[in-house]
């Protein structure tokens, strides 16, 4: 058993941050923070209090390395992946057990308790939710060819589950 396999596994936040750095090249914690904040998912808050300490942790674990960048008056720090960081990122990314997990869905949770709604509440709830989902957050702005289709596919899938469920139990 080598050293890396003894390391405790990355959290989803940490793994995603490493993946962003791998995609974007050297970047500031601010960019990472904004990437989370701009995510269509409310799960990723992108708060400074979460991101800056996490970067410190990742640096302490030597998965990223920083250098100061003083091209202008602004105090910037740029972080890049170390070799160990890339290995850890790959292990996180390719973790099929994690990937297969259900995660958390606020709609799914509520639909499991649909019997607690009256007929009218049910109608209103399903209608409103569908509206809000159809006018949901826009696809992220990127050049990568798979990102927008994935966003669309996922949004559509959730709307379709809601439609199918409504037909049966609405």
Interface residues with DNA (CB under 7 A) are 11, 13, 28-31, 33-34, 45, 47-50, 52-57, 72-77
Residue 113 CB, nearest distance to its own copies (Å)? 4
- Other Cβ atoms within 10 Å of 16 Cβ, number: 19
Contacting residue, 22, 28, 87, 166, with its own copies by CB under 8 A: 22
Contacting residue, 31, 65, 84, 133, with its own copies by CB under 8 A: 133
CA neighbor of 133 nearest in space, from 170, 165, 160, 111: 160
Residue 111 CB, nearest distance to its own copies (Å)? 6
Size of the site for its own copies (CB under 8 A): 61
- Other Cβ atoms within 10 Å of 76 Cβ, number: 15
Q: Are 21 and 27 in contact (CB under 8 A)?
A: yes
Q: Which residue has the tokens 């979460």?
A: 50
């Amino acid at each position: 058993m080598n050293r890396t396999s003894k390391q405790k596994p990355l959290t989803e936040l940490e793994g995603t941050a490493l993946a962003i750095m791998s995609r974007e090249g050297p970047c500031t914690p601010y960019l990472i923070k904004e990437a989370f904040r701009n995510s269509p998912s409310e799960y990723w808050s992108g708060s400074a209090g979460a991101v800056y300490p996490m970067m410190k942790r990742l640096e302490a674990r030597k998965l990223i390395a920083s250098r100061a960048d003083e091209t202008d008056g602004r105090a910037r720090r740029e972080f890049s992946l170390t070799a160990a960081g890339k290995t850890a990122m790959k292990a996180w990314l390719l973790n099929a057990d994690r990937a297969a997990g259900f995660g958390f869905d606020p709609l799914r949770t509520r639909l499991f308790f649909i019997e607690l709604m009256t007929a009218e509440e049910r109608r209103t709830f399903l209608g409103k939710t569908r509206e809000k989902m159809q006018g949901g957050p826009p696809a992220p702005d990127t050049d990568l060819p798979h990102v927008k289709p994935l966003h669309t596919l996922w949004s559509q899938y959730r709307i379709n589950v809601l439609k199918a469920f409504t037909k049966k139990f609405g």
